[in-house]
A and B are shown apart, each in its own frame.
Chain A
Amino acid sequence: MSAATVVLALGDDVSTDAIYPGRFMATVLPAETPQYAFADDTAFNAKLKAGEVPAGSVIVAGRNFGCGSSREQAASALKGHELVVVARSFARIFLQNAINLGLELVEAPDIEAAPGDRLGVGATEIVNLTSGRRCAVRPLPAARQAIIDAGGLIAYTRRRLVARS
């Protein structure tokens, strides 16, 4: 179990427009997208860009995190900062994009945490070390875990191609 600090606590239905506003969509390369992560939350975006958010920091959210557009920039921007998202649930396309790119997501239907809380994140349970609350982690379906285990979809597909040729 690893311990990490909550740097942002959000509600339900955080859209990919909030994670990565549409006006930055002309920027597509994963190396270039992190600068626009949560661009409309200017204070948090400034911290990210100033390098004040350590890798492994946690964003906590409610239900349906990543709803809306399929823009992969939303996942690559957070991955670029090596953030971890713990949410009550995720929208389908965002979840798949995160898995494909190696952004760490944890689904915990009863998660409750505030900025500054320390979380112990395990495979089956999250312990909020600040509040003492514990909540269960919903494991990813095996089919999705296989892509994570391969190191992302690029590596997974590359392996298929090589095996086929």
Chain B
Amino acid sequence: MGQTAVQKILARASGRREVAVGDVVEPAVDLAMSHENAALVINQFREIYQGTGLEPRVWDPAKIAIIFDHRVPAESAKTASNQKRVREFVAASGITKFHDIRGDRGGICHQILPEYGYVRPGQVVVGTDSHTTSHGALGAFAFGIGATEMASVWALGYAVNIQVPGTIRVNLWGAPPAMVSAKDVILHLVGTLGAAGATFRVLEFHGEALAALNTSARLTLCNMAVEAGATSGIVPADAETERYLRDEAGVAEAIEPVLPDPDAAYERTVDVDLDALVPQVACPHTVDNVRPVTGVAGRPVDQIVIGSCTNGRLDDLAVAARILKGKTVAPGTRLLVFPASGRIYGQAVAAGYVADLVAAGAVVMNAGCGPCLGVHEGALGDGEVALSTTNRNFKGRMGNPASEVYLCSPAVAAASAVTGVITDPREGGAR
């Protein structure tokens, strides 16, 4: 019987010829990523060494990445002090894949990892962030873990007691129509599978439509695999993966894709027909509460957010700028835009997108997680409604349990910014 992509990656990382679903393995970790919560990882890491007489030392500083993104620049003395502690640890441990708060090299962890070529096909990537699933876009097996589990990885260099997950094959057929994007594909899929529909499973993406989905779009797809409960999403590496790594991430070394066997055993197969897909919206307060935009069009919105690890890349800002160029954000509606990285910010400035967005009335914020998780800025007032290209709409997500968050693509967000109500971007005015 053939093996899925993740089975083959885990077999290789565990020094085995093959692994079966349900096997318990201890895969060597190629990349271990944390953000501000490295402060907790450091605490737990030191705890592990208590009473052992051993010197706390990370197993391989070159395989650890730390990126500040959740609260940048710091919103409080507490965060600033945590960031300071992490900086000191980074310097003392010789961690080089460190991205501090900077306009050039800074950004969201899930953008920095691909952008700097840290993630490669076939790797095992762990991150203390649930959206670590994103990196499956490059053909790696990437999954979220907690801070104590990361401390264990820092000490041992491998993940303990990992059960080989089953895989759901997702076939993407056709091609997305105008104003329909990868975000609509994954929202539709999460709505179909349900919030726990893929728990302890991997979503492995296939199909003719992948050829038209670049790495930026694939990052969006894999980013939200966790919203169906999936351990990860993965797109087997192909020509586009190589193009991205060479041309955009500057990778010179050999790339060794790990591909699923043609006779791999999948738990089940889900087919999505992109030709028939319309823009999707996830309604409050769960990500799987998904409807076609036509079902919620007309709902007034107070705040629109474009950005995040889901949709803060150059393609996303381009779509928004194209729709908003020469138009004005509706009075009574706030538009907040936050690019996923400093590099993207610079590219968006050079392309004129930032000028177009600002001229329309958008507030373009610094790269980072921004308002997505309600810890930093862009909180909502009581009874307010947000429409956002981010990945979660749980009650209280944007800092206020008395508010509502709808999730959508950049096209829906931008078209709605012009009207002040949830708007189908396929309608005239937005084109």
A143–B397 CA distance with the chains assembled, in angstroms: 33
- B37, CB-defined interface residue at 8 Å: yes
**Interface hits, B46-98 → A, CB 8 Å:** 47-52, 54, 70-71, 75-76, 78-79, 82
Q: A158 near B52 (CB under 8 angstroms)? A: yes
Interface status of A68 (Cβ within 8 A of chain B): yes
Contact B199 A22 (CB under 8 A): no
- A1-9, A90-98, A112-120, A125-133 - interface stretch: A90-98
Number of contacting residues on B, CB 8 A? Answer: 55
Contact present for A64 and B195 (CB under 8 Å): yes
Whether A93 contacts B161 in the complex (CB less than 8 A), given A26-B375, A28-B40, comes out as no
Q: Which residue of B lies closest to A63 (CB)?
A: B196
Compute how far the CA of A90 lies from the CA of B97 in the bound complex, rounded to whole angstroms.
33
Q: B160 and A68: CB pair below 8 A?
A: no
Interface of B is mostly: loop
A146: which B residues are within 8 A, CB to CB? 161
Interchain nearest-CB distance for A151 vs B (Å): 12
A80 at the interface (CB under 8 A from B): no
- A92:B200 contact, CB within 8 angstroms: yes
* Chain A residue total in the interface (Cβ 8 A): 47
**Residue among A101, A153, A156, A162 facing the most chain B CB atoms (10 A cut-off):** A153
Report B-chain residues with C-beta under 8 Å of the C-beta of A26: 36, 71, 75-76, 78-79, 82, 375
A67–B196 touching, CB < 8 Å = yes
Name the B residues within 8 Å of A29 (CB-CB).
Answer: 40, 43
Q: Evaluate contact between A17 and B161: CB separation under 8 angstroms.
A: no
Whole-angstrom CA separation of A141 from B397 in the bound complex: 32
B156 and A160 contact, CB distance less than 8 A: yes
Bound-complex Cα distance A72 to B304 (A): 29
- Distance of B86 from chain A, by nearest CB (Å): 11
* B140 close to A (CB within 8 Å): no
Q: How far is the CB of B122 from chain A (nearest CB, A)?
A: 22
Least Cβ–Cβ distance between B40 and chain A, in angstroms: 4
The answer to whether A21 and B396 have CB atoms under 8 Å apart is: yes
Q: How many residue-residue contacts, CB under 8 A, span A and B?
A: 158
> Within 8 Å CB of A18, what residues of B?
394-396
Q: Within the complex, which residue of A13, A15, A21, A101 is in contact with B374, where a contact is CB–CB below 8 Å?
A: A21
Quick check: is B315 within 8 A (CB to CB) of the other chain? no
- Is residue A23 within 8 Å, beta carbon to beta carbon, of the partner chain? yes
A70 to B231, CA, bound (A): 12
Judge whether B394 and A15 touch: CB under 8 Å.
Answer: yes
Given the complex of chains A and B, what is the CA–CA distance between A67 and B243 in angstroms? 35
Contact in complex: A23, B399 (CB < 8 Å): yes
Query: Are A23 and B71 in contact (CB-based, < 8 A)?
Result: no
Chain A residues within 8 Å of B43, by CB = 28-29
Question: Could you say which residues of chain B place their CB within 8 Å of the CB of A141?
Answer: 24, 163
Bitwise interface map of B from 281 to 323 toward A, beta carbon under 8 Å scored 1, else 0: 0000010000000000000000000000000000000000000
24 contacts between A and B (CB under 8 A): A15-B392, A21-B374, A21-B401, A25-B373, A28-B40, A64-B195, A64-B199, A67-B195, A69-B392, A70-B146, A71-B37, A72-B37, A72-B146, A72-B148, A89-B196, A89-B199, A96-B145, A96-B146, A97-B146, A97-B148, A153-B149, A157-B160, A160-B160, A161-B155
Known pairs A69-B129, A93-B146, A162-B54 / 20 extra A-B pairs, C-beta < 8 Å: A15-B397, A21-B374, A21-B396, A22-B399, A23-B379, A25-B37, A28-B39, A40-B396, A63-B196, A68-B394, A69-B373, A70-B129, A70-B130, A72-B147, A91-B199, A93-B130, A93-B145, A154-B44, A157-B156, A165-B52
Chain A to chain B: the 4 pairs with minimum beta-carbon distance, closest first:
A97-B146, A64-B196, A28-B40, A143-B161
